[in-house]
Amino acid sequence: MDKVGKILIIDDDEDILQAARLLLKQHVAAVDIEKKPSAIPTLLKNTSYDVIFLDMNFARSSSDGAEGFHWLRKILEIDPNAVVILITAFGDVAMAVRAIKEGAVDFILKPWHNEKFLATLFSALQLRRSRLEASNLRSYQKMVHAELDQPYQEFVGRSSAMQHVFSLIEKVAATDANVLILGENGTGKELVARELHRQSRRADRVFVAVDMGAITETLFESELFGHVKGAFTDARENRAGRFEIASGGTIFLDEIGNIPLTLQAKLLRVLETRTVTRIGANQQVEVDVRIICATNMPIYDMVAKNKFRQDLLYRINTVEIELPPLRQRTEDIPPLADHFLAIYGKKYHKSITSMHPLAHKKLAGYPWPGNVRELSHVIERAVIMSESATLQASDFFIPESEKSGGQVTLENLNMEDVEKLLIRKALDKFAGNISHAADELGLSRAALYRRIEKYGL
């Protein structure tokens, strides 16, 4: 059976240090000894100890334990999960009670009995494991609660292009293969990543989504790999990075094409070694994660232009899934529109049950540069503004010039076209707010409503 546990013993008596070391090294993986308590901050910065044995008195002729309590507080300040056992030759009960109140887990008297020493050690090792598991569980639960707050939206798509995407997901999900999802903004790349996780063997573990485009260079390592207390100005506590939190589950690196070249090498190393090192620490932490990445950028062109590392691309794209833009799968627009209508009708407590055929036709004729996300927003706005049980074509505010795919020219202009265009622009400018649009146009609300009805807006 492999030995486990890394122990630190701090005592100014060399004989005590050597005796404890000889006893403990038979039972644990590593034992460090130190005579000077002033070395404690450096030791704890470089190494994570499972149990720390700390002498109560260092100054000659001192027996009040003041130094021991000082360093006990310092240790717990550096590592709140530290398991500290105090050692003293003065078996004062009051001192023992105070030590427990201040955070020590037990008390050893010098000279000790080996059996008692080892029993205390093994209990402390178990306590350390429990504390670390509880700490990781809190981080895990915090992430899970954040994920549960995300709106769950099922896949909707009957087009052949989306059926191909579904087929790829089913083939790849059960493996731990790294996946790269390509597609324009708003096509549903994160939805694909979540579906891969839901259908994987890691489905009961956490899914951690990271927007790489939103993380500044200065926070990159701290956010992804974590930091220890005091590593930099704002590092007020030990913090696990996203990779540690995701260990056992899936990490989704969205917009990976936004990572600067200088940081790509650091990410590559983590993906290759499956270990992370927190900022301010030296020890490596193993992580077991499924890697899913996504980008809307021309990643292969970026490699050719030396803006993205080729070796990193090879590491993340074991399998590629490319999402088609909505304009290339127009047959999916009606079911998507109905899907969002049901979601937002329930969200805003609206009894809107259907959509007029002309409304579907209007939606299908628009190229949707913002893809499914834009369609979702348009439906949401229509549901909020509508006062009927059926959405009409006039409920949807779609930019006229983009819908027609061209510009209004002098050759096809007439007064009605001009008026219609002005009304459309005013409605778009104020997100469908009738009062503000009417003020902009110099019309009354009633007059604007009549024109909206007239032009089918």
- pLDDT tens per residue across span 398-453: 865 444 444 444 444 456 667 777 887 787 777 677 878 888 888 887 778 778 77
Instruction: Based on the fold, state whether residues 122 and 48 are members of the same structural domain.
Output: yes
DSSP state of 279: B
Percentage of the residues of the chain whose pLDDT score is greater than 70: 88
- The CATH number linked to 53 is 3.40.50.2300
| pLDDT reading at 248 higher than 90 | yes
DSSP letter for 325, please. P
Where would I find the beta strands (DSSP E) of 56-206? 84-88, 106-109, 179-182
Give yes or no for a contact between 65 and 88, defined as CB atoms under 8 angstroms apart.
yes
Partners of 257 in beta bridges: none
d(CA 149, CA 86): 45
Q: Are residues 437 and 362 in the same domain?
A: yes
Check whether residue 167 and residue 309 sit in a common domain.
yes
Q: Is the peptide bond before 111 cis (omega within 30 degrees of 0)?
A: yes
Task: Please tell me the predicted confidence (pLDDT) of residue 48.
Answer: 84
- Based on its alpha-carbon atoms, the radius of gyration of the chain, rounded to whole angstroms, reads 32
Q: Which domain holds residue 117?
A: 6-131
State how beta strands 285-286 and 275-276 pair. antiparallel
Nearest to 74 by CA among 120, 147, 10, 168: 10
Q: State which of 268, 295, 324 marks the end of a domain.
A: 324
| pLDDT attached to residue 98 | 81
In a domain? residue 154: no
Domain end residue (candidates: 278, 295, 324)? 324
Task: State residue 80's pLDDT score.
Answer: 84
Q: Are residues 276 and 194 in the same domain?
A: yes
Residue at 255 is within a domain: yes
Backbone phi, psi, residue 370, to 5°:
-90, 5
Looking at the structure of the chain, the number of domains it has is 3
Q: Is the pLDDT of residue 293 over 60?
A: yes
* Residue keyed to tokens 């308590």: 37
Assess whether 113 and 79 both reside in one domain. Answer: yes
Residue 433 shares a structural domain with residue 318: no
> Would you tell me how many other CB atoms lie within 10 Å of the CB of residue 301?
10
Q: What is the pTM of this model?
A: 0.58
Largest CA distance in the chain: 103
- The verdict on 319 and 346 lying in the same domain is no
Residue 422 is predicted with a pLDDT of 81
Let me know whether 171 and 304 are in one domain. Answer: yes
Which regions of 103-144 does DSSP assign to beta strands (E)? 106-109
Average of per-residue pLDDT across 283-301: 93
**Residue 150 scores a pLDDT above 50:** no
Residues contacting residue 46 through CB under 8 Å, at least 6 positions apart: 281, 282, 283
Task: Quote the pLDDT of residue 158.
Answer: 86
Among 133-147, 164-178, 191-205, 317-331, the range scoring the smallest mean pLDDT is 133-147
